[in-house]
Amino acid sequence: MEENIQKIRHSLAHLLAATVKDLWPGAKNAIGPAIENGFYQDFDMGKVKISEENFEKIEKRMMEILKTWHAFEVKKISVVKAKKDFKDNPYKLELIKDFAKQGKTITENDPGNFLDLCKGGHSQNPQKDLQHFKLLSVAGAYWRGNEKNKMLTRIYGTAFESQKELDNHLYQLKEAKKRDHRILGEKLDLFTISEKVGKGLPLFTPKGALLREILNNYSQELRQAKGWQKVWSPHITKNDLYKISGHWDKFGDELFLVKSQETKDELVMKPMNCPHHQQIYAAKPHSYKDLPIKYMETTTVYRDEKAGELLGLSRVRCITQDDSHTFCTIDQIEQIYQELIDVTKIFYGKVGMKLRARLSFRDKKDVKKYLGETNLWKKAEDILLNIAKKNNLDYFVAEGEAAFYGPKIDFMATDALNREWQLATPQLDFVQPKRFGLTYTDPQGKEQTPVMIHFALMGSIERFLSVYIEHTAGNFPLWLSPVQISIIPISEKHHEYAVKVKNELEKNNIRIELKKENETLGKKIREAEMQKMPYLLIVGEKEIQANAVSVRERGKGDLGQMPIDNFIAKIKEEIKEKKT
């Protein structure tokens, strides 16, 4: 079924290309793959500007052209013929040249009246299969993702095998738009992105910074209780460190380089923390009695992500990880994973997200692409499978999803719109400790290589927040809300009492906002509700006389009048329990 929908989506990218070229004869189509839930097609439109206002016209013409299509005919052709057939399309000619250099077979396809360069993977019954689609958006995209190349017009669409699936997805997209973390981040005054600072480099306001701090403190608190200790590492390093670790090869195009004016050394803005933590481990000898050794550090790493892929907090160039690395023996892997699973269950339970686990194992048909001993892989995979069973995890095995240095458990969190996100991931690493020559002495006095377990509870704080803001629609639970309570005096003469209430709450470490604006009561309440405050406290003559507050709870409305002490006790208990 998955293969079938991919063929449908890819075929629709061709249909979109045929239609745009039909409506705007000067347009040149570049690439058009199937993607998650849909497809896109890139165009060089010349001077023509396409917007969503054109979609109805394009969709109507797509349906008309579709009536003339049949099964895609795919033919192998020579380089000479390919260049002749696509002589007017510089993007196809560039691909043909690259394919020829790589010795790849060149194929073209035609569903009836639209010749295109493509390796295949299409619907064999387009008129039946390609009915349930919708164009969604237009964006700019550099040819081949390179900022030095021309900016093309990218049209995105979505498609499913039935109208019901399409309608459900479109409804979900509509709901997701309301929850867009970029819009809510601005409305709730959490973060901003400045062109003067740069794309992918978000700035957090006092409220947003506090939200980050609360989440990170809880993440560290949970791990400290299990024995992880804080360490610190610098943000730049000699590039040799990443050449040894393998990150130079893996992230070479994404590294930010820093040149020393004095020594002329080439330094790197760190893309990962693990090599630094290994150097802390390597600073002194270790015995098996010392293990496991557990380090954690919340710090920012840097990757030069492509400008076209940067998006709000979900894809950034500065990535703050609540990171940790554990050095242990093979026999301790199960114990460490058990502790990390416990921490993960508690954390995601408190933020109200359901988890399932993907056991990411090797592709047994292609073991050469993985480093490390085969028997070690087998043992580690068996351990992870046993852990998943013992913990009654909702799990599935995904062969081929392992990291090149070891298997892992990817925790997939489901949000309020039933979208699944990979967040926490404990990863086993057999490779880096060996590359760095890390050792410990076993009971027989022999040197052994420790196993390293990488783990970040939120993954990255920025990406976690992008998911969590949309999951909650900005309705953060009381314990996480940057401002927990808004105090609203009915009029100016009630300000003194409002300040007294504020002081009492602040003595109990409750985060308060006092609305002193000279506005109507109704307007002040609406503004506080727009900020999604968990509680509003209304104070006037009646409240002053009773030494009380009138309480409104988000989502529940008016709870009536309550003595201040009683309200404080209620709030403190709710915060302590971290109710979702």
Mean pLDDT confidence for 455-472: 96
Instruction: State how far the Cα of 215 lies from the Cα of 464, in Å rounded to an integer.
Output: 10
pLDDT > 70 fraction of the chain, expressed in percent and rounded: 99
pLDDT tens for residues 382-413? 989 999 999 999 999 999 999 888 899 999 99
What are the residue numbers of the active site?
Answer: 274, 303, 321, 323, 325, 408, 454
pLDDT tens for residues 528-570? 999 999 999 999 999 999 999 999 999 999 999 999 999 999 9
Instruction: State how far the Cα of 180 lies from the Cα of 175, in Å rounded to an integer.
Output: 9
Residues 130, 66: contact at Cβ < 8 Å? yes
Instruction: State how far the Cα of 251 lies from the Cα of 270, in Å rounded to an integer.
Output: 11
Q: Which residues are annotated as a binding site?
A: 274, 325, 454
Domain boundaries defined on the chain: 2-173, 187-233+273-472, 234-269, 485-577
pLDDT > 90 fraction of the chain, expressed in percent and rounded: 79
Q: Give φ, ψ of 392 to 5 degrees.
A: 50, 40
Exposed (0-12), middle (13-18) or buried (19+): which is 527, by Cβ within 10 Å? middle
pLDDT tens for residues 28-65? 999 999 998 999 999 999 999 999 999 999 999 999 99
Mean pLDDT confidence for 341-346: 96
pLDDT tens for residues 476-497? 999 999 999 999 999 999 999 9
Q: Assign 506 to helix, strand or coil.
A: helix
pLDDT at residue number 258: 87
pLDDT at residue number 1: 45
Instruction: State how far the Cα of 270 lies from the Cα of 233, in Å rounded to an integer.
Output: 10
- 0.85 cut: is pTM over it? no
Mean pLDDT confidence for 437-454: 96
Assign domain 187-233+273-472 to its CATH architecture. 2-Layer Sandwich (3.30)
Superfamily designation of domain 2-173: Threonyl-trna Synthetase; Chain A, domain 2 (3.30.980.10)
Superfamily designation of domain 485-577: Anticodon-binding domain (3.40.50.800)
Query: By C-alpha distance, which of 119, 514, 141, 578 is closest to 348?
Result: 578
Residues 239, 247: contact at Cβ < 8 Å? no
Average pLDDT of the chain to the nearest whole number: 93
Q: Assign 395 to helix, strand or coil.
A: strand
Supply the Cα-derived Rg of the chain in whole angstroms: 28
What are the strands of the beta sheet with 535-539, ordered from one edge? Answer: 512-514, 485-489, 535-539, 548-553, 557-563
Residues 448, 287: contact at Cβ < 8 Å? no
pLDDT tens for residues 265-316? 788 899 889 999 999 999 999 999 999 999 999 999 999 888 778 889 999 9
Residue with the larger pLDDT of the pair 252 and 215:
215
Mean pLDDT confidence for 451-456: 95
Mean pLDDT confidence for 433-449: 95
Q: Which residues are annotated as a binding site for Zn(2+)?
A: 274, 325, 454
